[in-house]
Amino acid sequence: MASQVDELLEVYGAAQLEQGFGVSVVLCRGGLESPAFTATWERVEYEISDQEGFLTKRTSRDFVFPTSVAVLSGQTIEPRSGDRLRLTEAGATVEYELLPMGKLPAAESMPGGYRWKVHTKKVET
């Protein structure tokens, strides 16, 4: 259950953040695409154990967006590993693939359940 603070942050803070710093993205799974929606992002460096147990650093572009906009074929879905986010950067269309980050899943529900935080890697073409 969401706290009153989570609800206030969602209603007032998140919309302002998206308006000032958001980018337009499309969620893709197979041949399906969502309507365009606004997401915010940040570059995050994670320390992850490799197969031999050594710590390595991996950089992710983590996107955050409302759970209500993750819609494919008219159904609200839970983003998962392998899904992609498509957006335009510097005049070119680029894609970021959702993937787990160490022990973290590809998509995490944020406090209150209003937003998804997804970990991604840029798809090189």
pLDDT digits (tens), the chain, 125 positions: 556 655 555 555 555 555 556 899 999 999 999 999 999 999 999 988 877 878 889 899 999 999 999 999 999 999 999 999 999 988 899 999 999 998 899 999 998 888 999 999 999 87
The pLDDT value given to residue 48: 86
pTM across the whole model: 0.82
The pLDDT value given to residue 36: 95
The pLDDT value given to residue 49: 81
The pLDDT value given to residue 15: 55
Q: 67-74: long-range contacts (C-beta < 8 A, 24 or more apart)?
A: 67/109, 67/113, 67/114, 67/115, 67/116, 69/27, 69/34, 69/35, 69/37, 70/27, 70/34, 70/116, 71/34, 71/35, 72/27, 72/29, 72/32, 72/33, 72/34, 73/32
The pLDDT value given to residue 26: 97
Question: Rounded CA gap, 57 and 65, in Å?
Answer: 25
